[in-house]
Amino acid sequence: MHIPDGFVNIDVSAATAVLSAGGLGASIAVLNKRLQPSRVPLMGLSAAFIFAAQMLNFPVMGGTSGHLLGAALVAMLLGPAAATVVMSSVVILQCLIFGDGGLVSLGANLFNMAIVAPWTAYLVFSVFRRIAGLGTRARVATAAFGAWCSIVAASFACAIELSVSGSAPAGIVVPAMLFVHMVIGAAEALVTASAIYFLSRHKPELFGVKPKVEATAGRRFAWAGITAGVLLLVINTPLASTLPDGLESVAESLGFAEKSAEAAPATAIMAGYTIPGFINEYLATILAAAVGTMLAFALSLVLARVLVAPAKDKRAINR
């Protein structure tokens, strides 16, 4: 769903940049007051997991591929404000270093993936949890539905941006984007539900549930599972599907794919998720994935630590 330069016009780019900046600023302000030090490592791990997961495209239907977005998962674990910061870190990194998504259209990509997706997921999750109850099954089911809704909502926002920009009529691009991303959303729902179930069993305190046993073993197992998942994703990135993703597929079928700007930002030193000069493409992709994952982890972790420090100072003053 990363929009390249050329698909949206300058007016849409400017408007979404303003909205994204406002949403990110508001999220940072919320975290500045509420972020708990214990959640800082999880922000870094979430960013690393999302970056690695987004590199692993999988075929879905009709010559189209998809990949995990991850915004819903972070929103349900850390809240929508933290999810906005984590997703913004990943999307900005993908654009500037790897050339994934245009620089001019960065505001639109941030708006769709870092604001619309996590906040939709969290709203749906919160509302339906009140109806379904607080048990693990209810948590997993509502997480799955919230994740699916986050993909559909983000794709709808993307379709509206394309329509307003004149890339394709709304009556054509909206149903086309929604249809393909409803299918991709099903995979997002499955992965999110599986992750929520795993963490509910092994790290229930993330959801405000006191563990039955004061078990560092369970916590260690949870952290080990997350870390192992990230490593497996990185190692398997060369096996990702080369089929066009949902947006690319729609652009090709509706005839506006040629509008895409071919040049990546000058900062994109690992454009195409590869290392320049490496003869072995398999190793180059794994190394690029590893570097990107570590950068995503470091960026989110540093930002989270910066936000936690003022919060600590304020609590000390209030005492």
Please report, as a single letter, which amino acid is at residue 205: E
**Cβ contact 303:90 at 8 Å:** no
Residue 244 falls in which region: left (phi positive, over 0), alpha (psi -120 to 50) or beta = beta
What is the pLDDT averaged over residues 138-164?
95
CATH number at 99 reads 1.10.1760.20
List Cα–Cα distances, 204 to 46, 140, 214, 224, in angstroms.
17, 13, 11, 15
Which helix H or strand E contains 60, and what residues bound it? strand 58-61
Decide if 3 is inside a domain.
no
Which tens digit of pLDDT belongs to each residue from 202-255? Answer: 777 777 666 555 555 555 555 666 666 677 777 777 777 888 888 999 999 999
**Cβ contact 175:216 at 8 Å:** no
In whole angstroms, give the CA distance from residue 101 to residue 108.
Answer: 10
**More confident site: 177 or 60:** 177
Decide if 208 is inside a domain.
yes
pLDDT of residue 318: 45
The tally of CA atoms less than 13 A away on the side-chain side of residue 215 is: 16
Decide if 1 is inside a domain.
no
Decide if 80 is inside a domain.
yes
The model's confidence at residue 62, banded by pLDDT at 50, 70 and 90, is confident
pLDDT of residue 57: 85
Decide if 199 is inside a domain.
yes
Decide if 5 is inside a domain.
no
∠ at Cα 96 (91, 100), nearest 5°? Answer: 60
List Cα–Cα distances, 189 to 73, 109, 125, 159, 185, in angstroms.
9, 21, 12, 21, 6
Q: How many CB atoms lie within 10 A of CB 51?
A: 29
Decide if 68 is inside a domain.
yes
What is the pLDDT averaged over residues 276-289?
84
Nearest partner of 66 among 2, 161, 162, judged by Cα: 2
The two most distant CA atoms of the chain are separated, in Å, by: 62
Is the pLDDT at 110 greater than 80? The verdict is: yes
What is the pLDDT averaged over residues 87-103?
93
**Cβ contact 178:155 at 8 Å:** yes
pLDDT of residue 16: 97
**More confident site: 284 or 219:** 284
pLDDT of residue 317: 40
**Cβ contact 108:159 at 8 Å:** no
Is the pLDDT at 92 greater than 50? The verdict is: yes
Give the least confident one: 12-26, 110-124, 286-300: 286-300
- Tokens found for residue 241: 């599907």
Residue with tokens 């709808």: 156
**More confident site: 153 or 314:** 153
Is the pLDDT at 315 greater than 60? The verdict is: no
**Cβ contact 198:218 at 8 Å:** no
Range of the domain at 91: 10-318
| Cα dihedral across residues 242, 246, 247, 253: positive or negative | positive
Per-residue burial over 151-178, b = 16 or more CB atoms within 10 Å of its CB, e = otherwise: bbbbbbbbbbbbbebebbeeeebbebbb
pLDDT of residue 41: 82
- Tokens found for residue 96: 């500037």
Decide if 2 is inside a domain.
no
How many folded domains does the chain comprise? 1
What is the pLDDT averaged over residues 300-305?
84
Is the pLDDT at 185 greater than 90? The verdict is: yes
Give the residue ranges of DSSP H helices in the chain. Answer: 10-34, 40-54, 71-78, 80-98, 106-110, 117-132, 136-164, 170-202, 216-236, 246-254, 281-318
